[in-house]
Amino acid sequence: MMHPSAISSVLLLLLATLPAGGATPARQLPPLWAEYFAAEVAAIEGRSPVSIASAADWEQRAPALRLQLQDMLGLNPWPERTPLQPVVTGTTEHEEFRVERLHFQSSPGLYVTGNLYLPKEAAGPLPAILYVCGHGPVKKDGVSYGNKVTYQHHGAWFARHGYVCLTIDTIQLGELEGLHHGTYREGMWWWNSRGYTPAGVEAWNSIRAIDYLQSRPEVDPERIGITGRSGGGAYSWWTAALDERVKVAVPVAGITDLHNHVLDGAVEGHCDCMFMVNTHRWDYAQVAALVAPRPLLIANTDRDPIFPLDGVQRVHREVAELYRRLGKEGQLGLLITEGPHKDTQDLQVATFRWFNRFLKGEDPLIRVAAEKLLEPEQLKVFTHLPADEITTRIHDTFVPAAEPVLPDNGEEWEHFKDKTMAQLRKHTFAGWPEEAASTGEEVFDKRFDGVRVRRFELETQPGLSMPLIVVEPRRPRTEMVRLEILDHAGWQRLAGELKERFGMEELASPVAESGEGNSLPAANPLPGVLDQSMAFFAPRGSGWTAPDLDARGFVHFRRRFMLVGQTLDGMRVWDIRRAVSSLSALLKTDRQGLAVHAAGPMAVNTLHAALFEPAATSLSLRHLPESYRQGPDYLNIMRVVSLPVVVAMAAEGRQLEINESPEALSAFRTGVARRIAPGTGR
């Protein structure tokens, strides 16, 4: 029987006056982009996880939501549950407990190092705690001892009070030093394209850690709880949401909402392990909801800049409503203590009480503090690091990627294309607007020595407009219109030429240099002799809409798109689609033909826009990369299709010229053509 105090729906400890506001952003977004992200966040916030009629309704809905979360962590389908191959490398004795230094493999070569804290004397199967660590590096002479050393006092306390506690290292700051900072610091934007987040690996390692705990005779498999703080708080959420073997959860400083992350700038304080790949456009209350109706204590301090109080409270309010509808108010708690982002004793004591109440059915006075009682050397698992480990490079293989496979015949190719287009719309470009905005509004139309120059304002989403420039000679040599898709540097060159040749002064972006840093050297986009109608367009984040941010600020600008279920380049594909379709309507290019030219990253964006826009009757693309690892990032696209396949798909029904690009792209396109129409090749 649970302690009577469990009836209380909210455990609220206020040890100081609470601040009224949220986080102070590290960088202010320019007004245009602050409004854009506010609208995107508001659209996602409208999807409440608590709109249920009954407990039976939640039982029916929760599995589908759990599958979506599994998918967004790169765990759908589940990796194979291979043998753990656990090895205890040594034991450390303390007068009140003992520690087994161990490792297991959550997948072959994916080593997890940990310390198993056990009471000196145990009578019968005991409740067990999985403690997942936050970012707490301990290194001596260049050797990592793992963040489990930093958090050892938690494991020791649990073992001194009748629990088994397994404390596991994370992949970044463990004895094997993997990576959490792919997009945050290393420029590995392809993680988004692969659908990879280290949050998925940490969740998988935790799930397999529960497998290990259940294999131990000292553990009661029906009484397992999970906790951790900071990064470990986030992993507590992922694991408890996905794995119902977790009976009690206390995530500490591990969650807040999209408003804090995206609008208040909390994202800038977090590496990639804190976030799912938000394919299904969730707010974080939906993650928290998946723990219901199991006992859950949400714990945080009141002055935490990366998990601000107002966002934590908003998450709690939504989840509290779900617990109320499920009739389980007494199994949800909110703990707010005084302090910054720190592992304080006030947080620890309430956490210990929560597990005592819900895993042991008791609530004794906490008399013993959690203390660090061991030296790092006493907790180290490896003497020598294993040669077959893949932990340090698990990002390369954890999420399976689609491989280019030639079709056997035309019917198979058509079926494959239909399936791929549907998957791209669902898993890669789900952040696109449901409806296209209207055709651009003409705001400028003048003639200069026989050349007509027009400017249209193209609203690709409500509140987000970009100039579309059309330049037409009096006697074009061809009816085909050429559309140039420009990056920021290309747009600035165009603006300079329009000013010099036609006196147009208003088109230069107020941002001199974009923080993106991926422009290609190129000639001026407007030719000296104009003998063809031309149009020019720079999609969002470049040209007229480039944010005034330095390189570091631009990184976090891009990361915000992922948090709302998009990528910057994925939305540029949408903008290019709108430019193509609008230009086709404005100039009636269905009769004339539309040739789209682009280079580098914008060429990749144009390639994908053409998949959805048949009005682009000709493509001329330069400097395409070999794969998505080198190209712009689109959510999950490497799980769906490979770049050579997209080239082959885009080539059908139009002229496609690719220059200064890997030969493999053309070779695969030729192979497809020969398979679907034997005796031909393009």
Using DSSP's 3-state secondary structure scheme, residue 383 falls into coil
Residues 445 and 392 in one domain: no
- The answer to whether residues 309 and 22 touch, using CB atoms and an 8 Å cutoff, is yes
pLDDT along the chain (682 residues), means of 10: 30 28 58 96 84 87 96 98 98 97 98 97 90 96 97 98 98 96 97 98 98 97 98 97 98 97 96 97 95 98 97 96 94 98 97 98 96 97 98 98 94 96 98 82 88 93 94 89 95 92 84 80 78 95 95 96 98 97 82 90 98 96 96 97 97 95 94 82 44
Structurally, the chain folds into a number of domains equal to 2
Residues 259 and 345 in one domain: yes
Residue 207, domain CATH: 3.40.50.1820
- The answer to whether residues 110 and 391 touch, using CB atoms and an 8 Å cutoff, is yes
- The answer to whether residues 276 and 234 touch, using CB atoms and an 8 Å cutoff, is no
Task: Return the pLDDT at 502.
Answer: 87
Residues 490 and 614 in one domain: yes
602, part of any domain:
yes
Domain interval for residue 151 = 4-396
Strands (E) in 319-450, as ranges, are: 332-337, 441-448
Residues 300 and 445 in one domain: no
Residues 524 and 591 in one domain: yes
- Dihedral-angle region of residue 599 (phi above 0 means left; psi in -120 to 50 means alpha; beta otherwise): beta
Within 10 A of 282 (CB to CB), how many other CB atoms are there? 20
Task: Return the pLDDT at 103.
Answer: 98
**Cα 336 to chain centroid, rounded:** 28
Last residue in a domain, options 348, 373, 396:
396
Task: Return the pLDDT at 114.
Answer: 98
Residues 433 and 302 in one domain: no
Distance from C-alpha of 635 to C-alpha of 594, rounded to nearest angstrom: 28
682, part of any domain:
no
As given in the structure block, the two tokens for residue 425 are: 């719309």
Residues 329 and 392 in one domain: yes
In the numeric block, the tokens 């320019």 are attached to 30
246, part of any domain:
yes
Within 10 A of 226 (CB to CB), how many other CB atoms are there? 29
Residues 6+ apart with CB under 8 A from 186: 179
Residues 327 and 447 in one domain: no
Closest CA to 560 of 266, 235, 198, 179: 266
Task: Return the pLDDT at 27.
Answer: 67
Residues 334 and 468 in one domain: no
Residues 145 and 11 in one domain: yes
DSSP symbols for 545-585 = G-----HHHHHHHHHHHHHTT--HHHHHHHHHHHHHHHHHH
Task: Return the pLDDT at 521.
Answer: 61
Task: Return the pLDDT at 71.
Answer: 98
292, part of any domain:
yes
Dump pLDDT digits (tens) for 208-235: 999 999 999 999 999 999 999 999 999 9
Last residue in a domain, options 346, 361, 396:
396
Distance from C-alpha of 213 to C-alpha of 6, rounded to nearest angstrom: 27
Residues 297 and 184 in one domain: yes
Task: Return the pLDDT at 590.
Answer: 67
Task: Return the pLDDT at 529.
Answer: 82
311, part of any domain:
yes
Residues 369 and 442 in one domain: no
Last residue in a domain, options 342, 361, 396:
396
